[in-house]
Amino acid sequence: MITLYGIKNCDTVKKARKWLEKNSVEYRFHDFREDGMDSVPLQQWLDQFGWEEVLNRRSTSWRALSDSEKNNMINAAALAIASDTPTLIKRPVTVSGDTTLFGFKEATFAELV
């Protein structure tokens, strides 16, 4: 079973969900805002991929951080900040078995299913 993490009004999440539904792929959607962050494996993602892969440095949430926060970012800081501001996480995050993908690309999704 695929779990898709994100925010329902995010355009990229919408594209990913539409692709999964169009291709009859069963999935569970976890909305960071509505479902909360308690069960999100954020620490695992940071340990495995590092904050550079997990956080979206092109987001308005990233731009809203202070220069000090950006320049001194480490996994521990990313965990605290992303837990409070989940819009910092690259979306969608797609988890299928041992595979975790950040963002949406049709070709990569086609390989996943």
Strands 93-96 and 99-102: antiparallel
Residue 42 phi/psi, 5-degree rounding, is -60, -45
The length of the chain in residues reads 113
DSSP 55: B
Q: Is the alpha carbon torsion for 107, 44, 9, 85 positive or negative?
A: negative
Active-site annotation holder among 3, 7, 10, 56: 10
Q: Verify whether residue 43 is a known catalytic residue.
A: no
Q: Is the alpha carbon torsion for 93, 96, 98, 101 positive or negative?
A: negative
Q: With contact defined as beta carbons under 8 Å apart, do 64 and 29 qualify?
A: no
Catalytic residues: 10
